[in-house]
Amino acid sequence: MQQIHVVILFAYEDSKYKDELRKRILFPSLPIKLTIWDKTAILAGKYKVETITNVLYDAHIAILMLSSDFWNCHELEEQLKIVKHRYQLKRLLLVPILIRKHHDWKEDEVIKHLLCLPRNKPNGFTAKDDTAWTAIAEELKKILAGVDDWFFNSLEEYHARKHLLSLSLVSGAVFKMGDDSEDALTHDVEVSTFYISQTPITNSQYAQFLNAKNWLNNEADLKKYIELAESKIEKKGDAFIPQIGYESYPVTHVSWQGAKSYCEYLGGRLPTEAEWEYAAQTTKPEDILFFDEVQRVGLQKANSIQVYDLLGNIVEWCEDFYDEKYYQNSPKADPLCEDDPYSDINRANLKEKEENEFILPKMEEWQNCTALEREEEEHFKQKLHEEFDKKWNNEYVKIWDELKLRRVCRGWLRRYESIKKTTRFTNRENTKESELGFRIVFSLSHKTK
């Protein structure tokens, strides 16, 4: 028996409508177990907002009780944003019920395209209008009866059928990450359970994404994501298509933002560095085929969790910023380097520290100087600052600019004795190279249901 979670979003002033709806939404004839949530069922306290958010991410159907009070309720703004986003990702059905007409309904970019219930009361109805409630109940029964057209038995089946992705479930655990090399000190890491695509994202899959984004005539945005002229995807007529024979090859010449945007479009994300290395744990060196050029996905022998091509085909983007010292102080549970060590803020902090260390010792000789000499102190300090700025520009700025906005990359194409599944690489976010691609990850949490 499938369990369907229904959440009701309503303004406090419309509680009587919500109460009537709860009475009429249970249908004994349907082989479905309904769990109906509304915010009055959640206890107040500091975790109430978090609890409501979790409920919204768990829901399969969100019923919106539309009225002027609904649109004016600030508490509902964030909740409405969540359910609309999940509807656009096809994770949730939105069912609006128009109880009192209000102009904001027709101005909302998502809801204005939906059919409001009840159809026989386009201007709203009273809480005791049995005719309206009967019509609503009939429509809801049809929606619930056809719910299998939207929701499948598992997340894996959903993405396999909708996006032609094959996913492997990676059970969370603690493992030894790193190899004691200079930037990869061995340390214990705990990763949560997640899904990962069995192969890198292909040209066919990425072409579908480009078509959905409708970038045929938007060269500026397109160039931020993919170097189309160098890739195996081309524009033909009014669509992006993979070149013949390269449909099942990994998409390459994709920037970090281009990879991230694809993942977010499907409701997923890039793997963290820890997740990537953990998924590669059971990849055996003797099973790796190394090539001089990128090959179609799946030529490698799968590891024990049925993941292919983690080594031996392409280099893959990860979510993390690259920080050579990150392993020294990273958290044990689900680490993710979210702070660019070479950001402008960190550069300003470093400059202040270096400037003080350069200038203060040289100012000590002025502590016992004469009054006349003190008049020259400001001039001396100015000269020291100028001397430091020259040193900073020569020694730091160019190097810093090269190092900022760099992300971790994993995997490798060609055979090198020093390359292992623990080896870390880095590329700037805007890098688009012939051997650089990615795969997608879905967290096993309420946010991916």
Task: Indicate the residue type of 267.
Answer: G
- The count of other CB atoms within 10 Å of the CB of residue 60 is 22
Q: Helices (DSSP H) in 280-412: which residue ranges?
A: 326-329, 344-363, 371-375, 377-392, 398-403
pLDDT at 31: 58
DSSP of 79-132: HHHHHHHHHHTTSSEEEEEESB--THHHH-TTGGGSPPBPTT-TTB--TT-HHH
Rounded to the nearest integer, the mean pLDDT of the chain is 80
pLDDT at 446: 33
The DSSP output letter for 172 is: -
Distance of alpha carbon 374 from its chain centroid, rounded?
58
Of 324 and 254, more confident:
254
Half-sphere CA count of 91, side-chain side, radius 13 A: 20
Whether 6 has a pLDDT exceeding 50, the answer reads yes
**Which of 155, 156, 189, 187 lies closest to 172 in space, CA to CA?**
189
Q: Which two tokens stand for residue 148?
A: 């299998």
Q: How far apart are CA 61 and CA 81, in angstroms?
A: 14
In the chain, residues under CATH classification 3.90.1580.10 are 160-339+406-448
Q: What is the mean pLDDT of residues 239-250?
A: 91
pLDDT at 100: 86
In the chain, residues under CATH classification 3.40.50.10140 are 2-151
Q: What is the mean pLDDT of residues 191-203?
A: 93
Whether 354 has a pLDDT exceeding 80, the answer reads no
Q: Which two tokens stand for residue 9?
A: 């979003």
Whether 38 has a pLDDT exceeding 90, the answer reads no
Of 217 and 252, more confident:
252
pLDDT at 252: 97
* pLDDT tens track for 43-85: 555 456 667 777 777 778 889 999 988 888 888 888 888 888 8
Print burial letters for 387-422: b (CB count within 10 Å at least 16), e (below 16).
ebeeebeeeeeeebeebbbbbbbbbbbeeeeebebb
* pLDDT tens track for 103-122: 666 678 788 778 788 888 88
Q: What is the mean pLDDT of residues 306-328?
A: 91
Whether 407 has a pLDDT exceeding 80, the answer reads yes
Query: What's the CATH code, domain 2-151?
Result: 3.40.50.10140
Cα dihedral 295, 301, 307, 309 sign: negative
pLDDT at 153: 44
Q: Superfamily assignment of 160-339+406-448 in CATH?
A: paralog of FGE (formylglycine-generating enzyme) (3.90.1580.10)
* pLDDT tens track for 245-303: 899 999 999 999 999 999 988 878 999 999 999 999 988 888 888 888 899 998 888 99
pLDDT at 310: 92
Of 33 and 206, more confident:
206
Give the pLDDT band (50/70/90) at residue 160.
very low
Q: How far apart are CA 191 and CA 330, in angstroms?
A: 13
Half-sphere CA count of 322, side-chain side, radius 13 A: 22
Q: What is the mean pLDDT of residues 83-111?
A: 79
Whether 449 has a pLDDT exceeding 90, the answer reads no
The DSSP output letter for 394 is: I
pTM reported for the whole predicted model: 0.57
- The count of other CB atoms within 10 Å of the CB of residue 68 is 17
pLDDT at 29: 67
In the chain, pLDDT over 70 holds for what percent of residues? Answer: 72
Residue 224: φ, ψ to 5°: -65, -25
Q: Which two tokens stand for residue 307?
A: 């993941």
Average the pLDDT over each of 351-365, 415-429, 433-447 and give the range with the smallest value.
351-365
Of 441 and 164, more confident:
441
Of 422 and 375, more confident:
422
